[in-house]
Structure 1
Amino acid sequence: MDLNTVLDVRDARRREPWRPGDAWLGGGTYLFSEPQPRIRRLVDLSRMGWEPLTRLPDGSLEIAATCTIAQLSRYGRRLAEPAGPLFEQCCRAFLASFKIWNMATVGGNLCNALPAGPMISLASALDGTCLLRSQDGATRRVKAAGFVLGAGRKDLADGELLRSVTLPASGLACRTAFRQASLYGLGRSGVLIIGTLDPRDGSLAITITAATTRPFRLWFPLPPQPDGLRDAIRSAVADGEWFDDIHGLPEWRRHMTLRFAEEIRRELTQDGAR
């Protein structure tokens, strides 16, 4: 789609003051998918030269905001750690064509803050941390599960940039289980639940996305019993936080979340036996 309100495109390597009507341009798959009447200038990140995926000395994985879904998918297929299959599962949750995979970015998916964003699911489930950079160069870090505040809302100040997401080595070492549901064969995720079991201490985390307006990551020092898991989910997610749109009613999303969470608990713990 032509954005007929855009008057200029600026290379992000050239520092200029941020002004009203500016927007970051990564892959552009969302920006060019619908009218953006408030945007007057695009700040293009494509020439920043950020390495898409970097293993850090402590074993963690840094994913640049400009890393494409195709790059992440290829990397995940080669990843030796137990969490490796989760990368492809989340990439496949896009249900998008190869053309989208080669343009859409990890950072763009996080910054859109849509409940069904599968990169939000991946980063939250593996306890990722977002690195944010302001216009004056100052940086701050926020947990991926807390970066998305609601449907379309994120913890990002005006002109602030999502630079990368770092997944810790402890997250990559976890056994994982994945469940997804949609009302349609090729529809947007209505429910996406991920479980991770930490081999070091046997702790279990259940991450709820797509069904809710924001991610919920529930951590248990020891795997709970079915009633305990169900009660924890009901206590954590308020009635108004179950997402409601054409892709699923809140009641259905809640039901499927409780069902999938219990399936994951059983899969990862063999009904509680670590």
Structure 2
Amino acid sequence: MDLHTVTEVITSAGPGMWRPGDVWLGGGTALFGEPRPHLTRLLDLPSAGWPAITVRDDGVEIAATCTIAALAGHFREHELVQQCCHSFLASFKIWNVATVGGNLCAALPAGPMISLGAALAGVCTLIGADGRVRRVPVADFVTGEGRTVLRDGELLRSLFLPGYALAGRTSYRKGSLHRHGRSAALLIGRAEPTGGLALTVTAATRRPWVLRFPEPPRAAELEAALAGIPAGAFTDDVHGSPAWRRHLTGHYAEQIRAELSA
């Protein structure tokens, strides 16, 4: 979709260039998906030349401008990364344009990079219009459908995935109304280094919910924890009713619990 009100595209843009009417441009697959008449200028982030992926001693830093294709290519042997990349309702053409940061900032319930980041204890690095840096866990970055903690002029610089989480055992479940449909419920369990379990609920809910157990929970304990997710937190759209999504969540959560507790 054309954005007819945009009059400028600024390359090599930085935080200090922000002004009202601006928007940060990554891959643009979400940005150009609907009318945005309030926008007048695009600040192009890929032209900054950030390395897509940086391997560190304590984990992996993924630039917000890293494409889904680049992410999948780097983590060819990582099952969970591959599962999340393939849960996109998108063709290979979108994979080569859509970015990790764009998927996070769009804050759609079915955003698989939100699922991946929240499940692997990911942390977002944000840079404000004044250059100040702050770090926010992915689980807290998305606050609702289409809503994040980003302030005016603030940009998402990168997503950090700690090494211990990347190395942990995981279990993945995804459900939708039909085989190639948008995720109606996407749950990921991760065995904690201390012996506990972290269960991440996404797609079924408007924001990520991460349930943590200090030790492998029993079925009743898991059920009680899931009951703590309010009824209003579940997504209601053409891809599934809240009641059905809650049912899927409980069904998949029990499968994950049994698998990782074995």
Residue 190 (1) aligns with residue 159 (2): no
Contact kept, 8 Å, 2:195 with 2:214, in 1: the verdict is yes
Aligned equivalents of 2:42, 2:104: Cα separation in 1: 18
Contact kept, 8 Å, 2:176 with 2:239, in 1: the verdict is yes
Shift of 1:7: 0.9
State the match for 2:261 in structure 1.
269
2:72 aligned counterpart, secondary structure: helix
Residue 2 (1) aligns with residue 2 (2): yes
Opposite residue 99 of structure 1, the aligned amino acid is K
Aligned equivalents of 2:106, 2:114: Cα separation in 1: 10
Aligned equivalents of 1:15, 1:265: Cα separation in 2: 43
Shift of 1:185: 2.4
State the match for 1:23 in structure 2.
23
1:54 aligned counterpart, secondary structure: strand
Alpha-carbon spacing, 1:102–1:216, altered in 2? closer, same or farther (3 Å): same
Count of matched residue pairs: 262
State the match for 1:247 in structure 2.
239
Shift of 1:15: 6.3
Shift of 1:137: 1.2
Aligned equivalents of 1:93, 1:165: Cα separation in 2: 19
Opposite residue 191 of structure 1, the aligned amino acid is A
State the match for 1:209 in structure 2.
202
Shift of 1:33: 2.0
Shift of 1:19: 1.8
Query: How do 1:225-244 and structure 2 match up within 5 A?
Result: 225-235=218-228, 237-244=229-236
Query: How do 1:1-274 and structure 2 match up within 5 A?
Result: 1-13=1-13, 17-58=17-58, 60-78=59-77, 84-198=78-192, 200-235=193-228, 237-270=229-262
What CA deviation, in whole Å up to 9, does each residue of 1:213-268 have, x standing for no partner?
Answer: 10001111101100110110111x11110111111100000000000000001111
Shift of 1:135: 1.4
Aligned equivalents of 1:213, 1:164: Cα separation in 2: 22
8-17 or 248-257: which moved more?
8-17
Aligned equivalents of 1:12, 1:33: Cα separation in 2: 23
Shift of 1:101: 0.0
Shift of 1:13: 3.4
Q: TM-score, normalised by structure 2?
A: 0.97
Aligned equivalents of 2:256, 2:198: Cα separation in 1: 10
Contact kept, 8 Å, 2:15 with 2:154, in 1: the verdict is no
2:48 aligned counterpart, secondary structure: coil
Aligned equivalents of 1:254, 1:19: Cα separation in 2: 42
Identical counterparts, % of pairs: 55
List structure 1 runs of 4+ shifted beyond 2 angstroms.
Answer: 12-17
13-22 or 161-170: which moved more?
13-22
Aligned equivalents of 1:15, 1:210: Cα separation in 2: 31
Contact kept, 8 Å, 2:172 with 2:256, in 1: the verdict is yes
What CA deviation, in whole Å up to 9, does each residue of 1:26-65 have, x standing for no partner?
Answer: 001111222221211100011111111111122x111100
Opposite residue 174 of structure 2, the aligned amino acid is Q
Opposite residue 189 of structure 2, the aligned amino acid is G
Shift of 1:17: 3.7
State the match for 1:81 in structure 2.
none
What CA deviation, in whole Å up to 9, does each residue of 1:86-105 have, x standing for no partner?
Answer: 00100001031111000000
Q: TM-score, normalised by structure 1?
A: 0.93
Aligned equivalents of 2:25, 2:13: Cα separation in 1: 13
Aligned equivalents of 2:15, 2:195: Cα separation in 1: 47
Aligned equivalents of 2:128, 2:5: Cα separation in 1: 25
What CA deviation, in whole Å up to 9, does each residue of 1:76-129 have, x standing for no partner?
Answer: 114xxxxx2100100001031111000000000000001100000000000000
Shift of 1:11: 1.4
